[in-house]
Structure 1
Amino acid sequence: MRTKQHPVSHLFEVSLYFQQIVFVGVIVLCLFSIISPPIALLSGVVLVNVFGNPFLAFNHKAITFLLQFSVVGLGFGMNASSAISAGKEGFLLTVFSIFSTLVFGTLLGKWLKTEKKTSHLISCGTAICGGSAIAAIAPVIKSNENQTSVALGVIFILNAIALFAFPLIGHQLDLSQKEFGLWCAISIHDTSSVVGAANKYGAEALQIATTVKLAMALWIIPISIFTAVVFKNKNSKIRIPYFIGLFILAMLLNTYIPATAIVAPHIVGIAKIGLTITLFLIGATLNLNTLKSVGVKPLLQGVFLWIFIAGLGLVSILYLG
């Protein structure tokens, strides 16, 4: 005999089914480039707060894979010589910004009395490459789930703001493609938002920003070693961002193998779609619970640290570059 389904249970199933349809529908819009990266991010924020995220369990893995895939794909649209030139020009600024951010972040954390491990994760995320740096540093300092999620929440909130604010500020200040590319690579936390903002500004800005940001990501290794010493965790496993090697390989193929020109534009197009979906998924993590769980002190530390590095980077590029 067939058991009669409870009305509440049936309603929950219908609700979940509707959530899945809406969620997949936005991803389809991203696939056909109907919505831009900033709108995709905003759509994720709106959907998760109105309907919820039916695929939350898979979100983190999907973001990680799609971001790495997209970055490698963007390498097929870049020239190695130009990238090396951009990397050289941004090297000293990169080193200065990373260490000044870590020092100022440590002082801010002590002043605001932010929990030590959370403070360090926010500082590393701001200094190097956002969520990727936090994911790499978290096991080194053996942070718990709450400490890691708070730091990620701060970074993702500020990334969402940066994606909209930086291109507007860049145009208001009449920054060149080169200046904007350097500035957003130094000042925006996550690679996804750096690429999204730079892509909106122009092709040259995109190449400079992506190259400089990925060069910054390599600092995960020495900073992880330094962190292990400071936190006295000798047995910590250090994560190496191997996908950066694939990005360099894609760039070399595009520069020195003429046959690559046949498929390169299509790969770049797919990579940009992947980036748009990534930003949508990041937006879909920013629900009200995330905002509430962050807390005032960590958020203040993130904001002050962000203003510090964005202001310092801008002054350095405009007056010392």
Structure 2
Amino acid sequence: MTGAGLGPVVVTTPSFGLYSDAPWQAIEAEQLDVRRSRAKGPLSPAQLREEVTEAVALIVGVDRVDASVLAAAPHLKVIGKHGVGIDNIDLQAAAEAGVTVVRTPGANSRAVADLAVTLLLAGARKLLEADRTLRAGAWNQLFGQEMHGRTLGLIGFGQIGREVARRGAGFGCEITAYDPFLPEEVFARDGVRRCSLPELLATSDFISLHVPMPPDGSPLLSREALETMKPGAGVVNTSRGGLIDSAAAADLLRSGHLGFLAADAFEEEPIPPDHPLLSAPNTVLTPHIGACSDGANAAMGSDVIHDVARVLRGEPPHHPVSPDPSTTTQTRH
């Protein structure tokens, strides 16, 4: 198929169209020449450079797309993110190269929110420890925390954060949120109390993270920040692994200052065997499966294909990403 593509569209994310036919139907409808990467993702910049020499479009998951990848792709017109977070893509380098970046906001919001609440419940009710001890022959009726009447603090109140808020409210939680980039009416509409980050850390029984990495790459929940949390509080991270100082979190789990930590994202993926959280108590760890649902897989794949095709046809995409609101990205033609 050639159609709108005028060249190959390289897909690196292994989960693309894995649990749904919808993305493949979108490819057929758009008449794109889609090719899987030769190596299994996530790919390093060096591996990506080998894949993109003829590509007119690149669809990635968490692969690191830096300036060297763009320099190796003279025909590239568009990068599509199979998901929402775009901190793995050098947006400024893409803008300077005239490459449009698109993503799929909202496509995986419900799936990630479902997992966040699942992890919260598993940590609060000690489900993994109960399962493990039962299988070992013990009958330990472990006591945990109810959600009703507890304060659930959300760091980040975008689409996923708002979905988590609605689920938490259904369990009877009081919901607070920190997000300095949103107007007050967004919080009021969902009946959520806006607060500062220090207040959220000090008053929340459960904290759920829904933000990108800070620009300087430092953990938002540093050792100092974690130590200001309410003793016994639990943390859920379905966003980015680097948001939490894992070594500090492991120490505070052992001391009991942290009640539990449930994580679906890590600084390095797959995580190394000596990762500090692997040996820490009261943890629930999953291999970045937040978007691994049938609905999210269908929506992310289809949405990114249609937006990539729009760019290749010279049409404005539905969900472009700019390195800065004041920056206008020129598309290669």
Same fold (TM over 0.5): no
Structure number with the higher helix fraction is 1
* TM-score after normalising by structure 2: 0.30
* TM-score after normalising by structure 1: 0.31
Structure number with the higher strand fraction is 2
